[in-house]
Amino acid sequence: QVQLVESGGGSVEAGGSLRLSCVSSGVPLNQYCVGWFRQAPGKKREGVASIDSDRNPKYADSVKGRFTISKDDAKNTLYLQMSSLKPEDTAMYYCAAAFCVHVVDGTSEEEYNYWGQGTQVTVSS
């Protein structure tokens, strides 16, 4: 059974930091392309960061220089370190895994096969 479980969300003030984790069971993350997405109320889900089959990270322009995506193959866990948080980062954050052969650039949710349930991040001004 495939399961991705996010944790680490919470409420912080602007300028603060959070680290999101996504533990995978049934999906060996070292064999998949992975990513983080977020969805704010009333908005479409958008790609935040991803790691491709060559382990190259990619970031949305809105988070470049502030967020870092990484994964620990031994722990089968994906991370998203978020710093210098802004109120506009407030959203539900989801991790996702994809068969790399299906991935074009890793930024579209249609490319991903497995999803977690999400963890809420709220940034106050």
d(CA 112, CA 125): 33
109 Cβ contact partners less than 8 Å away, ≥ 6 residues apart = 37, 45, 47, 96
Task: Say yes or no to pLDDT of 2 above 90.
Answer: no
Amino acid 11: pLDDT: 98
- Please name the residue that has the structure tokens 């994906």: 78
pLDDT single digits (tens) 26-67: 889 989 999 999 999 999 999 999 999 899 999 999 999 999
Using alpha carbons, select from 108, 114, 105, 123 the residue that is nearest to residue 51.
105
Q: Please, which pLDDT band fits residue 24 given cuts at 50, 70 and 90?
A: very high
